[in-house]
Amino acid sequence: MNNFLPTSQKDLKGRGWEQLDIIIITGDAYVDHPSFGPIIIARSLEAEGYKVGIISQPDWQSDADFKKLGRPRLFFGVSSGNMDSMINHYTALRKIRSEDAYSPGGKSGLRPNRAAIVYTQKIRSIYKDTPVILGGVEASMRRLPHYDYWSDKLRNSIIFDSRADIVVYGMGERTINTIARRISNGEDIKEMNNIPGTVVMGKEIDGAVVLPEFSSNLSKNDFLKMHKIFWSDFRDKVLIQKFGKSYLIHNPPAKSLSTKELDKVYDLDFTRQPHLDYNGKKIPAFTQIKDSITAHRGCFGGCHFCAIGEHQGKTIRSRSIGSILKEIKSIAADKNFKGTISDIGGPSANMYGMSCKLGISETCKIISCLFPEICPHLDTSHQEQKKLLNEVRKLRQVKHSFISSGIRFDLALKDIDYIKIVAKYHTSGLLKLAPEHISPEVLHYMNKPSIKLYERFHDIYSDYCNDIGKKQFIVPYIIVGHPGSSLKETIQLATYLKKNGIKLKQIQQFTPTPMTQSTMMYYTGFDLDGEKINTPKGREIRLQKALVQWFVPQNKKLIIEALKNAGRKDLIDFFLDNPRPIKSNIRKRKR
């Protein structure tokens, strides 16, 4: 039996339906799995009794795909998919990617640039009077005027560019169900200007916090001011911003789902498979996550370059152990299951079960609960996650259960027993950690902890692996080109890596994504205190990458250039493996 949501008129006839209530349009292939955001929204609406259909990866150069399910009774819901379409299409060097992990066969080009805008405008041209609700990470992170890296200019809120009726930001189950109920009850969508978790266009509101008026010539000082006001007040106040004769209205976030509500979401009627129309073509993103578990949502790390906190929020909402075990048993019942759960995690795996002791995480104005120090009001106990992992290990159908999501090493150091459990049972051979840099100055701009904490975790983990006879390694994630870094700090990083024999085949170049603190620094050239900082671009970033990958022969000339530019010709022999020794105060590390 085909248990997928309707994707064609044939499916509608098979169910005896004349018209759908809601149609969800997504830039991803239709994979009916709880790791795909638009599908979670669709299944959540279905569970409320609505007739929901899916249009996946429509041809935006024609009307046909947008018409194939007809006009919905209530509204169209639009998302670019699990990723921002520009990040999906382009590398940090603005080069076109050769593969789209969310498309059948990994084929690229099946969604347009700025897909959320293109899809919405297409619907507007066909169904002028049908409400359009825009959501997903692309819309969520572009809900305010923002710096757009790919066009190198400021762009207005996506609600103005797309002309959607409402933008839903964050994890939208609660919000979209509220909207659907109110439209179904006959309310005019133009009057829905106060729903939590939404951005709308409307009239000026007395008592709201006012952001600087937007224009394409908004000064960098005003852009910085806008960001600071936003981060100070968006959690508990209505924000408004004038644009021409209209106002952007930004409502506070929707209340996070409770554990019971989150369990209900992951217990919805997912087939956990790609749609049958793909005839077995592999969808790389699905292959990677099909046997993984989302244990919780949210992240209170507050890394300045990361969009997760802005999208999911910093409140941790964890599923119950029973719900997670039930999903694992469902995965294990599949005839193709090989006995390995590839990941039990979330944005940071070891935040599972953690919470604010004061219960104010949804309104607290502090961006990070971990930097510069771990908040004394944060419950950092790993007991719930240890209990979860212990219960998973008892399942006879599961041979291995790994943690592939990142681990916050500063948090893990609060529980050495947890580190040992991860080393002994839940590492596939390589453990992901993200020190990102070693320079205190750069780490400060990133909102990341000291390298000394990474080193301490590394020593505890490695020593224990040696004690139990397991050959396992830590893979450090590094970012180059972050605002506030220069060749000086990158030379410090490269020296550290070389002295410790760390050869990174993959490094991340900082990409300015909409709405993050780091992107604000990149665009304005100011830190959060309004002080001027270095923002690497062009050739300097290429030199930073070459230094960090010191072992690549093709980087020789670039390394020499970088060292000369930084006034450190004394290090040329060291980086080119000439025998002349140099002095260093960085202590020798075990590999």
Q: What is the pLDDT of residues 154-176, one digit of tens each?
A: 999 999 999 999 999 999 999 99
In a domain, 206, yes or no: yes
CA–CA separation, 354 vs 385, rounded Å?
9
In a domain, 504, yes or no: yes
Question: Within 13 Å and on the Cβ side, how many CA atoms surround 439?
Answer: 22
Tell whether 201 and 311 lie within a shared domain.
Answer: no
Three-class SS of 296-324: EECCCCCCCCCCHHHHHCCCCEECCHHHH
Task: Please list, residue by residue across 231-261, b when 16 or more beta carbons sit within 10 angstroms of its beta carbon and e when fewer do.
Answer: bebbbeebbbbebeeebbbbbbbbebbeeee
- The residues pairing with 431 across neighbouring beta strands, listed in sequence order, are 474
590, pLDDT greater than 70:
no
Say how many domains are in the chain: 3
CATH number at residue 54: 3.40.50.280
Structure pTM? Answer: 0.94
Give the pLDDT band of residue 311 (cuts 50, 70, 90).
confident
Sign for the pseudo-dihedral over CA of 560, 562, 568, 573: negative
In a domain, 385, yes or no: yes
CATH number at residue 454: 3.30.750.200
Tell whether 204 and 347 lie within a shared domain.
Answer: no
Tell whether 381 and 458 lie within a shared domain.
Answer: no
Give the pLDDT band of residue 573 (cuts 50, 70, 90).
very high
From 228, 250, 272, give the residue that closes a domain. Answer: 250
In a domain, 124, yes or no: yes
In a domain, 265, yes or no: no
Tell whether 323 and 297 lie within a shared domain.
Answer: yes
Tell whether 223 and 245 lie within a shared domain.
Answer: yes
Tell whether 232 and 367 lie within a shared domain.
Answer: no
Tell whether 417 and 556 lie within a shared domain.
Answer: no
Tell whether 331 and 239 lie within a shared domain.
Answer: no
In a domain, 274, yes or no: no
Tell whether 470 and 372 lie within a shared domain.
Answer: no
From 428, 452, 485, give the residue that closes a domain. Answer: 428
Tell whether 424 and 475 lie within a shared domain.
Answer: no
Tell whether 424 and 436 lie within a shared domain.
Answer: no
Domain that holds residue 69: 9-250
CB 383 within 8 A of CB 353: yes
In a domain, 266, yes or no: no
CB 443 within 8 A of CB 452: no
Quickly count: other Cβ atoms within 10 Å of residue 195's Cβ.
18
Q: Give the per-residue pLDDT at 578.
A: 55
In a domain, 89, yes or no: yes
Q: Based on the number of CB atoms within 10 Å of its own CB, is 147 exposed (0-12), middle (13-18) or buried (19 or more)?
A: buried
CA–CA separation, 400 vs 292, rounded Å?
12
Q: Per residue in 76-100, pLDDT tens?
A: 999 999 999 999 999 999 999 999 9
Structure-block tokens of residue 52: 């929901």
430-436 sheet: strands from edge to edge:
430-436, 473-480, 508-509
CATH number at residue 421: 3.30.750.210
Terminal-residue alpha carbon distance, the chain? 53
Output phi, psi for 7, to 5 deg.
-125, 0
Structure-block tokens of residue 560: 């020499």
Tell whether 404 and 437 lie within a shared domain.
Answer: no
Q: Give the per-residue pLDDT at 588.
A: 39
Bridging pattern class, strands 198-202 and 166-168: antiparallel
Q: What is the largest CA-CA distance in the chain?
A: 81
Give the pLDDT band of residue 591 (cuts 50, 70, 90).
very low
Q: How much of the chain is helix, strand and coil, in % rounded to 5?
A: 35, 15, 50
580, pLDDT greater than 50:
no
From 364, 399, 428, give the residue that closes a domain. Answer: 428
Three-class SS of 123-157: HHHHCCCCCEEECCHHHHCCCCCEEECCCCEEECC
Say how many residues make up the chain.
591
Output phi, psi for 579, to 5 deg.
-70, -15
Residue found under tokens 């969009």: 307
